[in-house]
Amino acid sequence: MTTSSITCQTTNTTAPQILVLRSVCRHFRAIAPDLDFWYQTDFLFSQLIPPFYKSRWPWRTREGRLLRALVNDTKFVNALGKRKMEWKFETAETLEIISKRIPLFRENARTIELGLTRYSEGSRALRYAMYILASRCTRITKLVIHCWAGPVDLTEIASSCPFLETLTCSNPDANFFGSLERLNCLKTLHMDAREFEAIGPWLPLQSTETLTELRLTCPRVDISFFDIPSLETFTNLTSLTIGPLNPALVKHLQHSPMTLETFKMEVRFQFAPIEIVRSVLQSPCLTNLKEFGSSTIHKEFECEDPPTTQDSALELYIEDYWSLVFDAFTPILRSVERVHLNVPLQVDCCTYFARMKEI
């Protein structure tokens, strides 16, 4: 059973199969809550809203009407509350309805993904979502936040979800502030930020023993975002993704006692001359590396205007730069078994990988 649609010829509208079948008879209504698609990680209730209604009702109104109809079914409420541990929401209002009308959600929900990307109020919606989680669902161990507007208060996240083991924050258009210091059992932290107002330490210093996977990326090179004094205390890391690479990060990695199995770096040639890249690749913490990755930002070199002589020269320089990067890491990182690249790649560069015997 899937969420595909059935077309009604008389009204020229469509409706998902599951909503149609639930209204056919009691038997279909009884077995509907046991279908697997409800329990998939990426399931959204908005997927069940027919396109016809999307043009006639505001976002919150149509999703709220659908949810209120579904949660009137006691069997459906009990089944979802008991079985579903991973939830994904696009609005704080949807989270509010589920937390109020499905009692077992509060006890059994472990993963929450907040994709506040459309029809939401940015930071205001996020603050409301944090209030709901703090008051009704404190057993969350994994939180994923995609918020496209307004500042994100890390202190509020840490206090609302004290038992987090995994935290992912992606905020392309806004900035972070606050601290994650209160979190004491975090194992995985992913932070992708455009701006960060770092006033003092912000990394989860109470999780230095448990944190093993860390991702810190920020397009604007701001050393305060990387919080290097705090970063030095996380010696149990086995996976690190960081960048853009800069001299301060290179110095940290060269002296770090970590033993990394996975290392991925974002490199931008303006901030990392090839000598810096070679230096970081020779860091002792990369001696036993199994997985390596490198990425860069291409958009800053794209333009709609015809290329000039200066643009062509820059493009050639970039190609040469990445050839030097490949020439640097392939003989050094011989223990690597997997390589992930999101960089300008020329066919001639492929010959460098013959040096890496484990790939």
Among 11-20, 127-136, 170-179, name the one with the lowest average pLDDT: 11-20
Ranked by mean pLDDT, the top range of 41-55, 66-80, 97-111, 172-186 is 97-111
The per-residue pLDDT for 23 is 64
Mean pLDDT over each residue of the chain, to the nearest integer: 82
Please, which pLDDT band fits residue 47 given cuts at 50, 70 and 90? Answer: confident
Q: Is the pLDDT of residue 65 over 80?
A: no
Q: Is the pLDDT of residue 120 over 60?
A: no
Please, which pLDDT band fits residue 335 given cuts at 50, 70 and 90? Answer: confident
The per-residue pLDDT for 250 is 92
Alpha carbon distance 217, 155 (integer Å): 19
- C-alpha dist (Å) from residue 165 to 107, 139, 158, 238: 17, 11, 11, 16
**Token pair listed for 82:** 């008991």
pLDDT, tens digit, for every residue of 249-281?
A: 999 999 999 999 999 999 988 888 899 999 999
Parse the chain into domains and list their residue ranges.
Answer: 242-359
Please, which pLDDT band fits residue 11 given cuts at 50, 70 and 90? Answer: very low
Q: Is the pLDDT of residue 124 over 90?
A: no
Ranked by mean pLDDT, the top range of 59-63, 260-264, 310-314, 328-332 is 260-264
Q: pTM, whole model, 2 decimals?
A: 0.85
First to last CA, the chain: 40
Question: What proportion of the chain, given as a percentage, has pLDDT over 90?
Answer: 41
Alpha carbon distance 217, 226 (integer Å): 8
Alpha carbon distance 99, 64 (integer Å): 13
Could you tell me which residues come within 8 angstroms of residue 61 by beta carbon, excluding any fewer than 6 positions away?
A: none
Question: What proportion of the chain, given as a percentage, has pLDDT over 70?
Answer: 77
The per-residue pLDDT for 16 is 60
